Amino acid sequence: MSQPGAADTFCEECNQHYRLGRARAGQSLKCRRCGHALRHVPRQPLQAPLALAIAALSLFPLIFCFSFLGISQGGNTTAIEFWQTTSGLTEGYYYLVATLLVLGLMLFPLIDLVIIAYLYGQLALGHKPEHAKPLLLVHHQLRMWLMVDVFLIGVLVALVKITAYADIQFGLSFWAFCLFVCLYLATLTSVDRHYLYQQCLGPLQTVNPAPNQPLWPCSHCHQLNLEPGRCRRCQASLQQRKAGGLERPLAFLLAAVVLYIPANVHPIMTTSTLGVAEPSTILGGVVLLWQLEDYPIALVIFIASVFVPIAKMIAIAWLCWTVYRRQPHSPQEMTRMYRITEFIGRWSMIDVFVVALLAALIQIQGLANVTPGPAAVSFAAVVVLTMLAAASFDPRLIWDHCADASHG
């Protein structure tokens, strides 16, 4: 007999099964085996996300209606609006980077916030939201592609680079964007996925499998299922492990390694001053910044564009190799490495955003202009491919050859 309010679920990182009782507000539950946060019960699960999402959404028009940034040098002034941050990326294959910017900065955050505001708004009115299942799925999938915080750091880096050569004017849209990023991050932090699923789809159900009966965990709503096919709670398709095994992360990794060569050999941008073009590679840019004694910026670019991508590729290769050899030295350490790899994935995009912004902003007729180089496309592809490699790696594979998962 299960106690009232009990629910069967599992740890998405090590597959340990748990029968959880009713949790108190403010309580945090961690997996005993791998330390993954199973859930944190927020004190205000409904009001905080709704208020924050509405506040963030209300800033959206302000970001697009006013001037974002302007620079002036020698009597020449250039100003851009927020949507024009992609204007330097319209030719050739640069539109791929521009698409990434438009999706990660504008479209996905808007869709995500509308979904959050709609779901929580309906719940606040006492209604069960319609189409909750696909909306929750979209909200879950969009998370890894949101780039607003990375872009803000990229903007700050670009501004520090420019400030030595030109005066900068901050438009109303810039301040609205800074506030938007803070509110959006606060919204995402306050959203409790388990609460949302519980309110929209009903509570997790208990399962009573026969001894040695395989269970089918749902990676979206965390319901354990006795039958394969579709989740009985959220209708998502069920898989014991992420599709593709080790082949998929390895394929993404191999493509990233191949593209990392042109990303470093070709220039990432070309600066033309008074008609003299000066192409610079990623590493060349870091060296130049160091020589100009811009140590903090040189360090940020070095960490984001050189250290992190290489460390990420080595980490994914190491994870795949140890799983393949079935000899995880320390599953806890390997899981921690996986978490870090997944977390830092987006941050390598800083240099690409710096180039995009400089190319949009520095267009001073006859005096100076910046154009993106082919490495911007290859490097953006490397970042996306390593993100896909980390996302397609299933950390439960690390634990599969340890002691069998048991009920907690």
Residue 251's Cβ-side half-sphere holds a number of Cα atoms within 13 Å equal to 6
Q: For Zn ion, which is the closer residue by CB, 9 or 187?
A: 9
Q: Which stretch binds Zn ion (CB under 5 A): 6-14, 45-53, 276-284, 387-395?
A: 6-14
Q: Which stretch binds Zn ion (CB under 5 A): 32-40, 178-186, 242-250, 281-289?
A: 32-40
User: Minimum CB separation from Zn ion for residue 197, in Å?
Assistant: 8
What is the torsional sign of CA 351, 357, 362, 363? positive
Task: Determine which residue in the list 53, 117, 123, 231 makes contact with Zn ion, applying CB under 5 A.
Answer: 231
Q: Total residues contacting Zn ion (rule CB under 5 A)?
A: 16
Q: For Zn ion, which is the closer residue by CB, 58 or 237?
A: 237
What CA–CA distance (Å, rounded) separates 95 from 219?
A: 33
State yes or no: residue 34 binds Zn ion (CB under 5 A).
Answer: yes
State yes or no: residue 207 binds Zn ion (CB under 5 A).
Answer: no
Task: Determine which residue in the list 9, 85, 190, 223 makes contact with Zn ion, applying CB under 5 A.
Answer: 223
Q: For Zn ion, which is the closer residue by CB, 225 or 369?
A: 225
Among positions 67-126, residues that touch Zn ion (CB under 5 A) are none
Task: Determine which residue in the list 139, 161, 194, 233 makes contact with Zn ion, applying CB under 5 A.
Answer: 233
Q: Say if CB 398 and CB 331 are below 8 A apart.
A: yes
State yes or no: residue 221 binds Zn ion (CB under 5 A).
Answer: yes
What CA–CA distance (Å, rounded) separates 87 from 246?
A: 39
State yes or no: residue 196 binds Zn ion (CB under 5 A).
Answer: no
State yes or no: residue 36 binds Zn ion (CB under 5 A).
Answer: yes
> Which of 157, 150, 148 shows the shortest CA–CA distance to 176?
148
Q: Say if CB 146 and CB 138 are below 8 A apart.
A: no
State yes or no: residue 133 binds Zn ion (CB under 5 A).
Answer: no
What CA–CA distance (Å, rounded) separates 218 from 232?
A: 9
**Look-up of token digits 């309906």:** 122
Task: Determine which residue in the list 234, 253, 304, 385 makes contact with Zn ion, applying CB under 5 A.
Answer: 234
State yes or no: residue 14 binds Zn ion (CB under 5 A).
Answer: yes
Q: For Zn ion, which is the closer residue by CB, 140 or 266?
A: 140
State yes or no: residue 38 binds Zn ion (CB under 5 A).
Answer: no
Q: For Zn ion, which is the closer residue by CB, 9 or 371?
A: 9
Q: Say if CB 268 and CB 285 are below 8 A apart.
A: yes
What CA–CA distance (Å, rounded) separates 401 from 358?
A: 49
**Cα angle vertex 307, ends 306, 311, to 5°?**
120
State yes or no: residue 232 binds Zn ion (CB under 5 A).
Answer: no
User: Minimum CB separation from Zn ion for residue 405, in Å?
Assistant: 9
Strands 17-20 and 216-217: unpaired
Structure tokens at 180: 């938007």
Quick one: how far is CA 251 from the chain centroid? 20
What CA–CA distance (Å, rounded) separates 279 from 268?
A: 8
- Would you tell me which residues interact with Zn ion (CB under 5 A)? 11, 13-14, 16, 31, 33-34, 36, 218, 220-221, 223, 231, 233-234, 236
